[in-house]
Amino acid sequence: MLDQKERELDQILQQYKKQKGALIPTLQATQELYGYLPKKAMEKIAKSLRIPFSEVFGVATFYAQFKLQPHGRHLIRICSGTACHVSRGTHLLEILEQELGIKKGEITQDERFTLESVACLGACGLAPVMMINDETFGRLTRDKINEILNYYE
């Protein structure tokens, strides 16, 4: 018996099955469905598009937009660029790891947050900077971080 997501994946595969160059849009739609790209779904994509699994996996791991692991409801990205590094951005990463009880690349036990470090967020004038989902927060301190995290309950 297929669950709801498997039925929706089948619909995605039907939509892209005969389109040339459909791998990336299929991966995007699948990630939209699951929140990441489960191995089982990628195997199904390979079979449907009649391409090797290694090609599907290669594309999924090449592009940063694709995630192979589940992530929390809120994605926290800490900037590790030069301006943020000079402004003690690495110290803020340590604060977040302590507050959330996870290391970068991990998800909190309640699946609320995923923590990542990125090369640059493009807001150097606000260093140190982090983003939660699509919202940017700058000139961060420990107190500001705690206040921001509480907002995302």
Q: Supply the CATH classification number for the domain 74-152.
A: 3.40.30.10
Q: Going by C-beta distance under 8 Å and a sequence separation of 6 or more, which residues neighbour residue 31? A: 37, 65, 66, 67
What integer pLDDT is reported at residue 44 of this predicted model?
96
Question: What 3 state SS string does 62-113 have?
Answer: HCCCCCCCCCCCEEEEEECCHHHHHCCHHHHHHHHHHHHCCCCCCECCCCCE
| Environment class of 48 (CB within 10 Å of its CB; exposed 0-12, middle 13-18, buried 19+) | middle
**Type of residue numbered 17:** K
What integer pLDDT is reported at residue 20 of this predicted model?
87
Binding-site residue numbers are 79, 84, 120, 124
pLDDT tens digit at each of 153 positions of the chain: 568 999 999 999 999 888 889 999 999 999 999 989 999 999 999 999 999 999 999 999 999 889 898 889 999 999 999 999 999 878 999 999 999 999 998 999 999 999 999 989 999 999 999 999 989 999 999 999 999 999 987
What integer pLDDT is reported at residue 153 of this predicted model?
72
What integer pLDDT is reported at residue 2 of this predicted model?
67
Binding-site residue numbers for [2Fe-2S] cluster are 79, 84, 120, 124
Whole-model pTM: value is 0.69
**Of residues 49, 52, 61, the one with CA closest to residue 19:** 49
What integer pLDDT is reported at residue 148 of this predicted model?
95
Cis peptide before 38 (omega within 30 of 0): no
